[in-house]
Amino acid sequence: MTVKMDRVVPDFKAPITGEKTIRLKDLRGKKVVLFFYPKDNTPGCTSEGEDFRDNYRKFRSRKAVVLGISRDSLKSHDKFRDKFSFPFDLVSDEDEHLCQLFDVIKDKNMYGKKVRGIERSTFLIDEKGKLRREWRKVKVNGHVDEVLDAVKEI
């Protein structure tokens, strides 16, 4: 099963930074921005995280929760979050449950070699838990501004 536009996203429970757990249903009443990224401490992923960090107050003022998701471990996430002072939590999806739910695992070509990895993607869920926007094959530059504009619209 994968998520569908204008439908309620199935509840999920996942480990997040700070040795905590998050449930999607606990975020009802808030907008939720989920940004999937390939790997901690890589240039594009760091830049995207910094863009969300630098605009975090704007998201919060619009009652939006921001969560970054990758297949990295919680230990890796904690280091990544601390190193770049991210004010939002990072979700560890080592079992790829969320990656499959949001259909973000794709075949990629890395230096002439086929690999499975996360396609940089962002999803916006409204206060009632419905998927309202999705961005796939995200290019980092300008992306966070586009997401912020969408948060303002719903």
How far does CA 64 lie from the centroid of its chain? 13
**Residue bearing tokens 């975090």:** 56
Choosing from 9, 16, 34, 45, which is the catalytic residue? 45
99 is catalytic: no
| Residue 118 dihedral angles phi and psi, to the nearest 5° | -80, 130
Contacts of 135-141 spanning 24+ positions with Cβ under 8 A: 136/104, 138/35, 138/48, 140/44, 140/47, 140/48, 140/51
Query: For residues 17 and 76, what is the distance between their CA atoms, to the nearest angstrom?
Result: 9
Query: For residues 94 and 32, what is the distance between their CA atoms, to the nearest angstrom?
Result: 21
Which two structure tokens, joined as six digits, stand for 42?
């890589």
Tell me the catalytic residues.
45
